[in-house]
C-alpha cells in the first residue's frame, strides 16, 4: 500500500513539473515566436551573429575576366553573382556571414 501511495505522489509531482514547464514554454513562445526548447537542426539566424564579430578575410576565387556583378544578402547568407553573362565564369557564390566560409557555387552555362 505504501508503494502505491509513493507512486501516486511521484506521478502527481511529475504532472505538476510538466505543467510548469509547459506554462514556461507558452510564456516564452508568446514573447519570442522563434523560441524552441530543443533547436537541434535550426541554422543560426541573423540575430545570432554578434555585431562586429570578425572572421578574417574571405577569398573568393574568380577566373580571368570574371567579376562580381551583383550582391544580395539574405538572412545569414550573402549571394554573389559572378559574370559577365556571356562568359564562361557565370556563377552564384553563397557565403555564410556567420563564419565567412564559402558554402557553395552554382555554375551556370548554356548547353549547346
Contact 103, 94 (CB under 8 A): yes
The yes-or-no verdict on residue 111 having pLDDT over 60 is: no
CB neighbour list of residue 81: distance below 8 Å, 6 or more residues apart: 68, 69, 70, 71, 72, 91, 92
pLDDT, mean over the chain: 81
pLDDT single digits (tens) 7-61 = 999 999 999 999 999 999 899 888 888 788 776 665 555 555 555 556 667 777 7
- The residue extents of the domains of the chain are 1-42, 52-107
Cell 578574417 sits on residue: 56
- Which three three-digit cell numbers place residue 63? 577566373
pTM: 0.47
Q: CA distances (Å), 11 to each of 16, 23, 57, 85, in order? A: 9, 18, 57, 68
Amino acid at each position: 500500500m505504501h508503494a502505491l501511495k509513493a507512486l501516486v505522489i511521484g506521478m502527481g509531482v511529475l504532472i505538476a513539473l510538466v505543467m510548469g514547464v509547459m506554462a514556461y514554454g507558452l510564456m516564452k513562445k508568446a514573447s519570442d515566436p522563434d523560441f524552441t526548447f530543443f533547436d537541434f537542426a535550426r541554422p543560426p539566424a541573423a540575430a545570432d551573429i554578434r555585431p562586429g564579430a570578425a572572421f578574417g578575410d574571405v577569398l573568393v576565387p574568380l577566373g580571368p575576366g570574371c567579376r562580381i556583378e551583383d550582391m544580395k544578402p539574405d538572412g545569414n547568407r550573402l549571394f554573389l553573382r559572378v559574370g559577365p553573362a556571356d562568359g564562361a565564369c557565370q556563377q552564384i557564390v553563397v557565403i555564410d556571414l556567420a563564419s565567412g566560409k564559402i558554402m557553395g557555387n552554382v555554375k551556370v552555362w548554356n548547353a549547346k
